Structure 1
Amino acid sequence: MNERTAADAAHGDPARGDDVRAVATSRYAEGAPGNDDVRPVPAPSPGRADVAFDIPGVSVGTAEYTEGPTGCTVIRFDGAARTAIDARGGAVGLSGGYEVHQAIVFAGGSVYGLEAAAGVGTGLLREQGNRTHWAALQHVSGAVIYDFSARDTAIAPDAALGRAALRAARPGRFPVGRCGAGRSASVGKIDFSRAEFAGQGAAYRAFGPVKVLVATVVNAVGVVVDRDGRVVRGNVHPDGRRRRPADDVAAGLGSGDGPAPLAGNTTLTVLVTNARLPERSLRQLGTQVHSSMHRAIQPFHTEIDGDILFTVTTDEVDLEGTTATGLGALASEVAWDAVLSAAE
């Protein structure tokens, strides 16, 4: 967690002048300013660092409305990349859901943020010279997180912000930190007074010729847990210690004093590989990796989460020397690294 204390982290990033618990006191205020009131201007959203990756044909762009604050992230593919989607939890926010993609868009703003994906679609249409033949159609899916609980505005990513993120897309770099769709993401909301900001994370590994990129926007009701079993983000108690939500639930069970988790969460993930996989194996790869993420996020896939994982292949190399299950085991570790990256 860098050099910040648990208490510092609970109050957000002092350098950015925000406090996740302070803004929570005014959330849902009647008459909160929205896009039409403020007319926000798209701004760059670079995050704290970039994760380098080497998968040809894949580029990433981010943009944000600082007035929100909220943002979106665009993952763009040359050609049409085959995709499998694994959606879980009780609060999924998804548009499109195609089997091939030219772009996938993650955004804040809950259901209103789905407009960002529409903006990316029209942006790609213009790039294609407004060709509308069925073979030229651009397939764009959107998925959203509920980030209103960590801010006091009704501003949401829209078509203009989606197009700005598309214009910012560059190959080989995935911005991480409080940027893009993770600009106002938070975790550990078993009680919002104990929540902490999280963000967008990514990790990349090459296993011989096979490459795996996993990126995730962590906005979970659960906490982030490292490989030593320590809670590293979320559910910070007044004594400055982070605790597992299960311990708090067990302590209040039957007494009427248990915590009431805040609705409106969701973790969005994309796994990109260059391995050529049959449709069934591609789907199962996503299921396996998504299931593995419960090690890093506890609890996960709850009724108030809307977790989605997109598994995408660029179909560049044959999978040799291992099975799709073996690839899933390796990719699951990359996914854990990506979650921890979002919590740094």
Structure 2
Amino acid sequence: MLPPGKLPPEALERLFTKLGASDPRVLLGPGKGIDFGAVDFGEKALVASTDPITGAVEDIGFYAVHVNANDVAVAGARPKWFLITILLPEGSDERLPERIMDEIDREAKKLGVAIIGGHTEVTPGLDRPIVIGTMLGEVEREKLVRPDGAKPGDAIVMTKWAGLEGTSIIAREKREELIGVFGKDLVERAASLIDYISVVPEAILAADFGVNAMHDPTEGGIANGLYEMADSAGLGFRVFPDKIPIRDETKAICRYYSLNPLALVGSGSLLIAVSRDRAKALVEILLSRGINAAIIGEFLAEEKRVAVVNGEERPFQRPETDELWRIFDE
């Protein structure tokens, strides 16, 4: 039986054999660790990505816009057009779709994104709304940043902090329980981490700087994001867990629920593969723009995936599922 969340990589790989018609204009199609597609439109490439929001109820429209925009921005493209599908549980009040669309409208305007279509329905069998977005953007074809472009020896730069999206969702969904444990201030800070969820500014900055690959870790957090990046490039990696930035709010909530913050849904952070000799310069630029950043590891020619703990290499395990599902499975 499949666990909640993304399909396991081996199951996805089997499905990739059924890819529809061949088209020479497709610059990038589906593959392991690849979250967007790209199509040749002459001097520019059209970049497209789709993602559902399934683990949140509060601010679900906000998440739908930014999670999908992030997947386009990691190609170095500016998000421009959005299609949205809203699936509502039976018995939903009419105010629910209005609230979701208000959130989508507000956040799309912030990014300069036009809503160009979609679908809304009440769907039997759901216990919470599901919002599925498709974001389109464009970039000069020669400046497209491929997700499989990491090279052996590249430094891994990470922006912001691990588990941002998951921390915010848990703080909002379990607000009263957590206030009773940690007090209102910490819970409000944790809930407000939603404000960091967009990686569009740093992705465009990194693309202009010149990097080899970018990836925004969503389900499975930083841990799964590293695997997805390495999978797409056919590489291994060495990571230093003590260098991975984690906010105190995330640490506290993860300790309370016995969660691994590195495997908690991580939208808001960006993983970047950049030449080792340019990594420090990139980090300095990010920091100068008020974006937290750190070098957390390197990609390897050999396909081992390890963490360095107390000076020793240890296997770095891929999460079977996102830690967030453990909260909603209770």
TM range (shorter): under 0.3
Give the alignment's TM-score, normalised by structure 2.
0.24
Higher helix share: 2
Give the alignment's TM-score, normalised by structure 1.
0.23
